[in-house]
A = this chain, B = another copy of it.
Amino acid sequence: MIVHTLLDSSHLAGNLLGDPSERDLFVYLPSGYEESDRRYPTAYLLQAYGTTAAEMITPATDGERWRPPLEDVLDPVFGRMGVPPMIVVVPDGWSRWGCGQWVDSPVTGNFEQYLVKDVVNFVDANHRTIPDARSRGVFGFSSGGFGAWNVASRNPNVFAAMAVLSADSFLDMTHKFMLYKYLDSIWPEAPNGPVEGNVWSELVYDYSATYSPNPDRPPFYVDLPVAHPSGELIQEVWDRWLAFDPVVNVHDRLDNLRKLTGILLDAGSNDDYNLHWGHRLLSHYLNEAGIAHEHRENPGNHGGRAYERYQMALQWLSQVLERD
Interface residues of A (CB under 8 A from B): 61-66, 68-69, 71-73, 75-76, 79-80, 170, 172-174, 176-177, 180-181, 183-184, 187, 229-233, 268-270, 274, 277, 280-281, 284, 299-301, 304-308
CB of A321 to closest CB in B, whole Å: 24
Cβ distance A79 to chain B, nearest Cβ, rounded Å: 7
A305, B64: Cβ atoms under 8 Å? yes
B177–A63 contact, CB under 8 A? Answer: no
Q: Which residues of B contact A177 (CB under 8 A)?
A: 173-174, 177, 274
Assembly CA distance A304 to B172 (angstroms):
29
Q: Could you jot down 20 A-B contacts, CB within 8 Å?
A: A63-B299, A63-B304, A65-B300, A66-B304, A68-B307, A69-B80, A71-B76, A72-B75, A172-B176, A177-B177, A177-B274, A180-B274, A180-B277, A184-B270, A184-B274, A187-B269, A229-B280, A230-B284, A231-B281, A232-B281
Question: When A71-B76, A177-B274, A269-B184 are in contact, do A61 and B231 touch as well, CB less than 8 Å?
Answer: no
Assembled-state Cα–Cα distance A304/B176 (Å): 25
**Given B76, B232, B304, which contacts A65 in the complex, CB threshold below 8 Å?**
B304
In the complex, residue of chain B having the shortest beta-carbon distance to the beta carbon of A80: B71
A71 to B73, CA, bound (A): 11
In whole angstroms, what is the CA distance A274 to B300 when docked? Answer: 27
B301 and A64 within 8 A (CB): yes
Give which listed residue, B76, B230, B231, B300, contacts A64 with CB less than 8 A: B300
Contacts of A183 in B (CB 8 A): 277
Contacting pair B300 A66 (CB below 8 A):
yes
* Further 20 A-B residue pairs, CB within 8 A, beyond A66-B308, A173-B177: A62-B299, A63-B299, A64-B299, A64-B301, A65-B300, A65-B304, A66-B305, A68-B72, A75-B75, A75-B76, A170-B231, A172-B233, A173-B176, A176-B176, A177-B177, A184-B269, A184-B274, A229-B280, A231-B280, A232-B284
A229 to B276, CA, bound (A): 12
A299 and B269 CA atoms in complex are apart in Å by: 30
List the 9 shortest-distance A-B pairs measured between CB atoms, nearest first: A65-B304, A230-B284, A66-B308, A66-B305, A72-B76, A231-B277, A64-B301, A64-B304, A231-B280
Residues of B within 8 A of A170 (CB): 231
A245 to chain B, nearest CB (A): 13
The smallest C-beta distance from A151 to any residue of chain B, in angstroms, reads 25
Give the CA-CA distance A176 to B71 in the complex, in Å.
41
Least CB distance, A308 to chain B, in whole angstroms: 4
Chain B residues positioned under 8 Å from A176 (CB to CB)? 172-173, 176
B contact residues around A79 at 8 Å (CB) = 75
Contact (A76, B66) CB under 8 Å given A173-B177, A229-B280, A284-B231: no
Which residues does chain B contribute within 8 Å of A230, judged by CB atoms? 280-281, 284
Give chain B nearest CB distance to A229 CB in angstroms: 7
Residue in chain B with minimal CB distance to A71 = B80
For A270, the chain B residues whose CB sits under 8 A away are 64, 184
A273–B299 Cα distance when bound, in Å, is 26
- What residues of chain B lie closer than 8 Å to A233, measured between beta carbons? 172-173
